[in-house]
């Protein structure tokens, strides 16, 4: 889904056969203005999305942007002003706020966690633990906050997790079949494999040492920091490493200091408080 497709679908969901409150109370030719006010503290996100929403609702809107995505915001700040048809401003209002409030919450959470691992080699990744049909905005917010987007969906990477391994009959079988699938289909996709034990890591290293079988990333899942450090030494940069599972703000730094390349956190998108914004007439 593109951003344009998301906006059209979201507006259709909200507007239905018409904004009857505005149609009933506001003259069709009324021209008004409003400003987007900040009522919370954090990292601003979703300005570009808001501009796309305004453009979709009414290309004749005049929008003045006063604050850009990624900047710090505080109560009383004015993000932007919009002027134009009053009915159309109210049509756009809730979708703009819904997107920007949640996106700003995600960007703020991401920035806080990125700051905790400054000075290490680790980069912070998001996951697919997102709101259905809102993933495009949530992934944008992670980037605005300083994080890195992992795969967008099931289609842009082969990520072999525990259930895939069990269904395939084991680590070697799953990896071998994934490599054969890519050769057969001609697809250019990274292969990442979830590791549950040191023995599985050793199995993958042996399997790939000849170069005939490829694994791009090892996902070290639910290991403690000391165990991750040991596995990073064992892997010795032969394969990119990612840590996940049981990672919180309290222990994030300890995981980052193990030397792992990436740390993935579903909390970036599903344990987030939306920040408070409002669109007010003036």
Q: Which residues are catalytic?
A: 94, 129, 161, 194, 221
Q: What is the CA radius of gyration of the chain?
A: 23
Nearest in space to 62 (alpha carbons), one of 33, 95, 104: 33
- Residue 141 parent element (H or E): helix 135-144
How far, in Å, are 79, 136, 192, 219 from residue 164 at the CA level?
46, 26, 12, 14
Do 280 and 39 contact (CB within 8 A), yes or no?
A: no
- Number of CB atoms found within 10 A of residue 190's CB: 15
Do 190 and 217 contact (CB within 8 A), yes or no?
A: yes
Q: What is the CA 246 to chain-centroid distance, rounded? A: 19
Nearest in space to 80 (alpha carbons), one of 236, 234, 279: 279
From the number of C-beta atoms within 10 Å of its C-beta (0-12, 13-18, 19+), residue 185 rates as exposed
């Amino acid at each position: 889904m593109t951003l344009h497709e998301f906006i059209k679908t979201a507006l259709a969901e909200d507007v239905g056969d018409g904004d009857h409150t505005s149609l009933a109370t506001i003259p069709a030719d009324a021209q008004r203005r409003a400003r987007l006010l900040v009522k919370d503290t954090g990292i601003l996100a979703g300005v570009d999305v808001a501009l796309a929403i305004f453009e979709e609702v009414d290309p004749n809107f005049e929008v003045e942007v006063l604050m850009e995505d990624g900047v710090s915001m505080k109560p009383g700040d004015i993000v932007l002003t919009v002027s134009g048809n009053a009915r159309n401003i109210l049509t756009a209002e809730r979708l703009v706020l819904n997107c920007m409030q949640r996106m700003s919450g995600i960007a703020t959470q991401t920035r806080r966690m990125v700051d905790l691992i400054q000075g290490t080699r680790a980069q912070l990744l998001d996951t697919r633990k997102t709101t259905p049909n809102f993933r495009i905005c949530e992934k944008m917010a992670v980037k605005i906050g300083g994080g890195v987007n992992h795969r967008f969906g099931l289609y842009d990477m082969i990520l072999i997790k525990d259930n895939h391994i069990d269904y395939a009959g084991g680590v070697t079988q799953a990896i071998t079949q994934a490599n054969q699938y890519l050769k057969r289909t001609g697809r250019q996709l990274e292969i990442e494999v979830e590791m549950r034990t040191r023995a599985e890591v050793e199995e993958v290293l042996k399997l790939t040492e000849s170069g005939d079988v490829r694994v791009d990333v090892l996902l070290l899942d639910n290991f403690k920091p000391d165990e991750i450090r040991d596995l990073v030494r064992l892997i010795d940069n032969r394969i990119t490493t990612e840590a996940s599972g049981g990672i919180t703000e309290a222990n994030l730094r300890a995981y980052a200091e193990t030397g792992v390349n990436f740390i993935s956190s579903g909390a970036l998108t599903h344990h987030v408080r939306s920040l408070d914004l409002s669109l007010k007439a003036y």
